[in-house]
Amino acid sequence: MTPTNPDRRYVLSGLGLIGVNAAASTPINEDRLAPPSGGVGRRIEGFGAIGDGKADDTHAFERALASLGAGDALELAPGRSYRLTRSLVFRRPLSITGGTKEHTRLIFADGSYASLGGRRAAVILPHEKTATGGSARRTHFAGFTVEWVGHRDVEVDGILSATPAYFHEVDVVTFPRDGFHIEAQSERIQGNANGSAFFNCSARANGGNGFAFHGDDANACILIGSRSFDNDGAGFYDRSLLGNSYIGGEVDGNRSGGFVSDPTLPNRSVYIACYAEPGQSYNLNSRNMVFAPLGYVSGHSGAMLRTLPSGEVFSRTAQVFADDEAGAARPPGAAGRYLRMGTGGVDLMHGDGHRVRITKLLSENYVDVLNGDVPVLRLPAGDIAANVRASRPWLPNGMTIGESGQAAILGAGAAPPSAGRFAAGAIWLNDKPQPGKVIGWVCVAPGKWHGFGRIEANPDR
């Protein structure tokens, strides 16, 4: 819906936003949007802000946002707290900087808040371009806290962004809904927030998720050293289509888990060296990857790779190495070329369809090496019989010697085989040796066997 009187609806002017409660919105006179006379500088006090945490500084911020040009900077004084009662909606990219997030605050109290796609928020960064202005893309925030002090029974996010934006040392605390909510190209909110960045940011004690990503174009965002504590939802909730990168994140005390992603999407988020306190699970879809997690590692993850105290590498799920994604996705035993290592053992498939497996699934007594599905080498897991030791491998299908392969120990029995395809040079051992009998038989022609190595009846010792 396009507002019929954009000059009186500051939150919708030039933005094309929808869903604002008109009865709750405060009309803004045109003269209140003009810059202060005399062209006072770029500090918010120059637009009339007090910053004592008590006076309502909403008008001063509205004047500043209306008058600053794309790329301009607005400075918040260190140690000041600015009280606001309406949304700050960005119609163009600006740089908003404070001192440190511990000492500069934007305090949002009960009032009239605008919405984007049906979600109300204290700070809104839309992406759509309109005839009168447009996008907040490339806005930069640094060095302040965004805090809610109003009633908790309303539905207001802290920061709602549908455009690429950059946040450095920004905290969002105690909002009734999500702290940081990034949503673009979803069923509710259009835009493109791909490539947003969060450096050393925190979300704490919010009624929803600490950080939330939704939509087909909320991907390729990077979060470095960002933390999420004591939120009613998840610490980091990822429902982006393709995924994001989390480096050195930290979670503690979030009621719905630490790191959570939607299992129904082709999301391939990566979590590197993230820290989780006890009770903060990784509930991720099977395509996500976790590398070198720190702290607590419960829950489900697609692939978790870390080092053990002894130095070995630990992986929670099967690892597959292949030429391409399609090859890696083939089920075990399917034609292709890949190396798969998991709970079923090691499975090596060559491009010509030749398959080698190492597994213990065939027998609890042996680790089997198979050519295809045929065992060719059995490694005893322990002493099984008097002559079968854990240190002695067993070749269940015999062995060949020499380049020709004709000299082969093929098997054992009380008599040589009476049928089968055996060529000259095959050896069959006698597994019922007795004095006066032979050690075994050698095939001298197809179907013809001669005994060899007669066993002495009266050995010398």
3-state secondary structure 189-233: CCCCCCCCEEECCEEECCCCCCEEEEECCCCCCEEECCEEECCCC
Is 22 inside a domain boundary? Answer: yes
Residue with tokens 């870390």: 306
Our count of domains for the chain comes to 2
Task: Let me know if residue 454 belongs to a domain.
Answer: yes
- Tell whether 278 and 403 lie within a shared domain: no
CATH of the domain at 45: 2.160.20
Residue at a domain's end among 319, 347, 374: 319
Say yes or no: 314 and 404 in one domain: no
In terms of domains, do 302 and 405 share one? no
Contact 320, 298 (CB under 8 A): no
Is 195 contained in some domain? Answer: yes
Same domain, 278 and 148: yes
Q: What is the mean pLDDT of residues 330-337?
A: 84
Domain that holds residue 284: 6-319
Q: Is residue 356 one of the residues assigned to a domain?
A: no
Instruction: Tokens for 200, please give them.
Output: 């050393």
**426 sits in which H/E element:** strand 426-430
158 found inside a domain:
yes
Per-residue model confidence (pLDDT) at position 134: 62
Q: pLDDT tens-digit profile of 199-258? A: 999 999 999 999 999 999 999 999 999 999 999 999 999 999 999 999 999 999 999 999
Nearest partner of 238 among 283, 201, 206, judged by Cα:
283
Residue with tokens 């002493």: 383
| Mean pLDDT across the chain | 86
Q: Is 232 in the same domain as 113?
A: yes
Residue-level pLDDT at 328:
83
On whether residue 390 sits in a domain, the answer given is no
Number of other CB atoms surrounding residue 312 within 10 Å:
8
Amino acid 7 reads D
Whether residues 82 and 196 fall in one domain: yes
Domain boundary among 319, 341, 376: 319
d(CA 170, CA 108) in angstroms, rounded, equals 15
Q: Give domain status of residue 453, yes or no.
A: yes
* Residue pLDDT, tens place only, 348-380: 988 787 889 888 877 788 888 988 888 888 888
Q: Is residue 384 part of a domain?
A: no
- 273 in Cβ contact with 293 (< 8 Å): yes
Contacts of 189 (CB under 8 A, 6+ apart): 116, 117, 119, 162, 183, 214, 215
Q: Would the pLDDT of 404 be above 50? A: yes
Whether 115 and 222 map to the same domain: the answer is yes
Q: Contact 372/355 with Cβ under 8 angstroms? A: yes
Compute the distance between CA of residue 212 and CA of residue 179 in angstroms, rounded to an integer: 8
Q: Which residue has the higher pLDDT, 353 or 97?
A: 97
Helices H / strands E in the chain, number of each: 2, 40
- Which of 284, 319, 354 marks a domain boundary? 319
β partners of residue 222? 197, 245
Q: In the chain, pLDDT over 90 holds for what percent of residues?
A: 56
Query: Minimal CA–CA distance to 355: which of 337, 331, 342?
Result: 337
Contact 350, 372 (CB under 8 A): no
Confidence of residue 423 (pLDDT cuts 50, 70, 90): confident
Q: Give me the residue label for tokens 């202060």.
A: 36
**What pTM was estimated for this model as a whole?**
0.74
- Site of tokens 């010509």: 352
